[in-house]
Structure 1
C-alpha cells in the first residue's frame, strides 16, 4: 500500500490540503471518511493511503527512499510568509519536485478540554504561524493566556488532550478528530488569509503545461558583487516574470545564501528553459523544484499571470534559432 504523507498529526490544514491535491492528481481516487483510504480503480494508483508525518523533512526522506508516493507540505502563508521548515527540507533532503499546488483559506478553531471555560485558559498551544494569525484575537479574548509552540496545529490539540495546555488554536478539521470542546470558531485576524500547499514527488515526468503554470527553483550563488542582479537580469531579458524570491542561509558560513525563486511559466516553454540554462551557467547550483499548474481559488488564479511580449513566445525563439542555424550552415541572411 503506497502512502501520501502530510504534516501531522491528523486534523491539520495540511491534511485538508492533501485531500484536495490527491483528488486532483489522482482523479479516480475518493478519500474514505474514516481511515483516509483512497478507493481507486485497479491499476498503478490502487491502494493509496493518506498518512501523517512528524515533520516535512521526514516525509521527504520517505518519498526519496521509495517508502511513500508523495508528500503534501505547506509552502507560504499570505500573512506570515514562507514556511522555513519546508524550504530547508527542499534542499536538505534528496530532490523532490512539485506536481500540483492548492491554496486554502485559513480560519482557526480554538479547542479545549470538555468543561473548560475561557476564564480558565492560561496556556494556548499552537504552531507559530497560526499564533501570528490570531494574535489580536488572543489578546482580546484570552488576555491572560500564554502561547506555547507546537509542531503543528493538530499537535497542539494533542497537547490539550495530554493536559499540557489548556487550549489549542487548530484547523477546523481538528474539531472532528479530537474529543475537545470548541471554544471559538472562524477565528482569524486577517479575514482573507490563505496558505499555499504543494504535492511533492520524486523527480519524473513533469506535468504538461496548461498556459497558467508556475516553475519553482532554488539557486545557490557565489558571494560577489552583483550576483543577484545578474540572475534577475537573465530572467528579465527573456520575458520571465518573477513572482516570488526568498533567501535562506546555506548554513555553512555567515553571509552565504540560497535563493528560492517562483516564476510564471513552464519548463517546457523556450523562454523559461533558456532562462534556467542561463541561471545554471551563472550559479554554483540550481535545483529544479517543479513546473505545475498554478493554484486557483473558486476557479480563478490567485494572481493574474503576466503574459510575456510576442518576442518571447516559443515561435519567436524557434524562428531566431533557425536563423542562427542558417548562418552557421553558410546561408546569407
Structure 2
C-alpha cells in the first residue's frame, strides 16, 4: 500500500506547488487591478464580474469535481484576492451563526469583515450610514413567503440591491445538554417557528414557543438556560456549544431563503440578471393590467409579484415585482420606460446577477 501511495502523493505535492505558484501570480495581478481601481476610485467588489467568473468556471469544468464545489473554491480565491485591495465590511442580522451570516460568506467568501446587527432595520442603517460597505437581508422564504419588514425598508431606503443569495435552510432543535429533560420552551425567529410548526405540534406540543430576534440569538439564550431549546442552524449550535436533539426539523425538506445584498453600488450587466421594482397604480379599473402590459409587449418575463399595504388607510398597495434582465438591456429599458408612465409610483430597487 505504501509503495503504491508514495508516487501518487509525490504527484499531489508537485501539483500543489504549481497551484500555489499560480495563486501567487493571480494575487499579484489582482493587486495590480486594485492599483488601477484606486486611481479611478472604482469599487473593489464587482458582483457582475465575479458572477461571470463563476459561471465560466462551471462552463469550463473538465471534471471530476462538481461545478458547485469548484465555484466555492474560486469564490474563496476571489475573496482573498479582493481583501488584498480592501477588506469589505458586510452587515447582517446577527449574532454570529445566523443564516444571514451564512449568506454573507456564500456571496462574498470568508475574507470579509462581518458586522452583526440586532435587527434588519440596523442592517439598513449601517449600510446607509457607510458603517458597512454592504448589507445582506432576507427577502423571502420558500415556505413562509415574503419577509415583510425587508420589503417595507426597501421601499424607503436610499440603498440599491446589488446581488442575491439563495441558501438551503435546515433547522435543528438544540439544547445545552443535547436532551429535552427540564426544557419548557423553544425559542427561534418567528419565521423559523412557522417553518417547523408541524414537527413541533407532533413531537413537542407542550413547549411554549417564544419568538426572538434571530435563530442565533435563540441558540445563545439556550446556551445559558437549560430550560430553553433553540431552533437554529448546526453552525449556530457549534458556535454556542449546544447539543443537537433532532436535526432537519423544518416541515419543508426543500426549505430555502433568498437574501438580497444592499449598498450604494449600481451593478452592471452580467448576462444573467434580475431587476427588482416597487410600483403603485392609480385607483381605477384595469390599472394593474395596464401597468404591467409593457412587460408582455417587450417580451420581459416577470418572476415575482408581491403586494404590501401602503399604510395610508385607503386600501392602497405597493407592488414588489421582479423581472428577468438588467435595466441596461434594450427590451427591459423600453418596458420600464412605458411602465413608469403608467405608474402612480415607480422605483427601481436594483439590477443584479442571478444567484448561482
TM-score, length-scaled by structure 2 = 0.72
Question: What is the CA-CA distance between 1:285 and the residue it aligns to?
Answer: 2.3
Contact 2:92 2:116 in 1 (8 A): yes
Distance 2:189 2:252 in 1: 17
Residue pairs, 1:34-73, within 5 angstroms? 38=111, 48-73=112-137
The answer to whether 1:207 aligns with 2:273 is no
Q: What is the match of residue 85 of structure 1?
A: 149
Counterpart secondary structure, 1:89: helix
Distance 2:114 2:293 in 1: 42
Q: What is the match of residue 112 of structure 1?
A: 175
Residue pairs, 1:108-147, within 5 angstroms? 108-114=171-177, 117-147=179-209
Question: What is the CA-CA distance between 1:284 and the residue it aligns to?
Answer: 2.6
Gaps of 5+ in 2: 1-86
Question: What is the CA-CA distance between 1:224 and the residue it aligns to?
Answer: 2.3
Distance 1:286 1:276 in 2: 9
Q: Deviations over 1:64-100 (max 9, x none)?
A: 12221000111111111111111111113x3222222
Contact 2:280 2:346 in 1 (8 A): yes
Contact 1:121 1:142 in 2 (8 A): no
Question: What is the CA-CA distance between 1:223 and the residue it aligns to?
Answer: 2.3
Q: State the number of aligned residues.
A: 270
Q: What is the match of residue 328 of structure 2?
A: 268
Distance 2:180 2:186 in 1: 11
TM-score, length-scaled by structure 1 = 0.76
1:165 to 1:290, Cα distance in 2 relative to 1, 3 A: farther
Residue pairs, 1:1-333, within 5 angstroms? 3-23=89-109, 31=110, 38=111, 48-92=112-156, 94-114=157-177, 117-163=179-225, 166-202=228-264, 204-210=265-271, 212-296=272-356
Counterpart secondary structure, 2:125: helix
Q: Deviations over 1:160-193 (max 9, x none)?
A: 2353961110122101211322212222211111
Question: What is the CA-CA distance between 1:17 and the residue it aligns to?
Answer: 0.5
Counterpart secondary structure, 1:79: coil
Question: What is the CA-CA distance between 1:217 and the residue it aligns to?
Answer: 0.6
Contact 1:99 1:207 in 2 (8 A): no
After superposition, the CA RMSD in angstroms is 1.8
Contact 2:281 2:291 in 1 (8 A): no
Distance 2:344 2:129 in 1: 26
Counterpart secondary structure, 1:147: strand
Moved over 3 A (4+): 161-165
Gaps of 5+ in 1: 24-30, 32-37, 39-47, 297-333
Counterpart secondary structure, 1:173: helix
Counterpart secondary structure, 1:274: helix
Counterpart secondary structure, 1:14: helix
Question: What is the CA-CA distance between 1:244 and the residue it aligns to?
Answer: 0.5
